[in-house]
Amino acid sequence: MRILLIEDDPRIRADLATTLEAAGYVVDAEADGEEGWHLGDTETYGAAILDLGLPGMDGLAVLKRWRAAGRDLPVLVLTARGAWAERVEGIDAGADDYLAKPFRMEELLARLRAIIRRSGGHASPVIEAGRVCLDTRQMRVTADGVPVSLSPQEYRLVAYLMLNKGRVVPQQELAEHLQSVHFERESNAVEVLIGRVRRKLPVALIETRRGFGYLVPEDEAGE
């Protein structure tokens, strides 16, 4: 899944990007509020991590413009500000959660997983589809209780489809969540990846809807 990170402190931004990538996310990182707003307005992300004190356009303005434009991506707000009124303002502006600096990376990852799950209608960190189980905390996929060995990109594909279980996901949307905006996306990358995942899974999981995209059904899959 692709995450938009907007943080102007270079050390914090680098540390966050490294942590997120180690946790299996694709990260687009920006330091400027206006540049970050533009990416969030024109690209597809699973969630955004947004600092409030930004150059160019402050974080609250970024968030308000996204929400006014109908952008409903989950947003985790970061700030060094401690006043309760500013926390309330961030939530009222449309933030899904709020984390004050300094923070522990483990807490940030847990809160990020939670807002992503909630956006897909999942309360539990463990998501099941037929005989396949996704554990978002351990970044592990099992089939019939047996771990399936997946590359980071293969895991991102399975995780995104399972988090969107019951919805046909267009191929372009999948491609956007598998690679950063800064890399050229190959036209057949999704088909190749789907084929690799199907060969590794001992059970059918992903259905192809020709001309529309890919689907993990709500009930037991079977293509």
- Span 71-111, pLDDT tens digits: 989 999 988 766 567 777 878 888 999 898 889 999 999 99
Domain(s) of CATH 3.40.50.2300: residues in the chain: 2-119
**Under CATH, what is the fold of the domain 2-119?**
Rossmann fold (3.40.50)
* pLDDT surpasses 70 at 180: no
pLDDT interval class at 134 (50, 70, 90): very high
pLDDT interval class at 140 (50, 70, 90): very high
pLDDT tens, position by position, 188-200? 888 999 999 999 9
pLDDT interval class at 119 (50, 70, 90): confident
Question: Closest Cα to residue 20, out of 78, 88, 90?
Answer: 78
- In terms of pLDDT, which residue wins out, 15 or 118? 15
Domain(s) of CATH 1.10.10.10: residues in the chain: 126-215
Q: In b/e form, how buried is each residue of 160-196, taking b as 16+ CB within 10 angstroms?
A: bbbbbbebbbbbebbbbbbbeeeeeeeeebbeebbee
**Under CATH, what is the fold of the domain 126-215?**
Arc Repressor Mutant, subunit A (1.10.10)
